[in-house]
Amino acid sequence: MHLSSVLYALSDPIRLSIVSELHKLGECTCGGIEVSVVKSTMSHHVRTMREAGVVNVRVQGTQRFLSLRKNDLDEKFPGLLHSILNAYDSSSDTQLPK
């Protein structure tokens, strides 16, 4: 897990909204997160976050369950995720067009 990869993964508004939802909801399926993108684009975003070490993907049958790797991120980069999510929640970026 590298800082540049994590920051890149969190730099996209769609991915940031996904991370914010995972932070609020905990583990959920890809379809359980409301985003205004097609499945292939969602898959791209999930892969980018998984490869950066931001999320964990658990496969159960045909479903993919996403969870935020809070503990790993806090251990490697203390306070980073908390700061980014606080800034995101207080910004106007939380109002993405649907």
Rounded to an integer, what distance in angstroms lies between the CA atom of residue 8 and that of residue 47?
13
- Helices 13-25 and 39-52 meet at what angle, rounded to 10? 80
One digit per residue, pLDDT tens: the chain, 98 residues?
899 999 999 999 999 999 999 999 999 998 888 888 888 899 999 999 999 999 999 999 988 999 999 999 999 999 999 999 999 988 865 555 44
Q: What is the pLDDT of residues 49-65, one digit of tens each?
A: 999 999 999 999 988 99
